[in-house]
Amino acid sequence: MTKEIKISTEYITLGQFLKLADVISTGGMAKWFLSEHQIFVNGELENRRGKKLIKEDVVEIPEFGSFIIKS
């Protein structure tokens, strides 16, 4: 099941997304998390915490689930 993550801005960074989606507990964990886990944005492997996510982007994290960005 895909979980919806609502944002109120034009975009959110992947690092901010991880915290908002409760995948990590603090923003400081983003760099470590990205180095230890595979994350796919719209089907492509992504490891940049500054990657901008916009509405309708799909983020898949094996063992954590699938998410879609909504406004």
User: For 15-49, what is each residue's pLDDT tens digit?
Assistant: 999 999 999 999 899 999 999 999 999 999 999 99
Query: 55: exposed, middle or buried (C-beta count within 10 Å: 0-12, 13-18, 19+)?
Result: middle
Task: Specify the 3-state DSSP secondary structure of 69.
Answer: strand
Asked if the model's pLDDT at residue 1 lies above 90, the reply is: no
Asked if the model's pLDDT at residue 68 lies above 90, the reply is: yes
Please state the pTM of the whole predicted model: 0.94
- pLDDT for 4 equals 97
Q: Are 21 and 13 in contact (CB under 8 A)?
A: no
Domain range enclosing 10: 2-70
Number of structural domains (the chain) is: 1
Asked if the model's pLDDT at residue 50 lies above 90, the reply is: yes
Which CATH number goes with the domain that contains 8? 3.10.290.10
Encoded amino acid at 37, one letter: H
Strand intervals (E) in the chain: 2-6, 12-13, 40-41, 44-45, 52-53, 58-61, 65-70
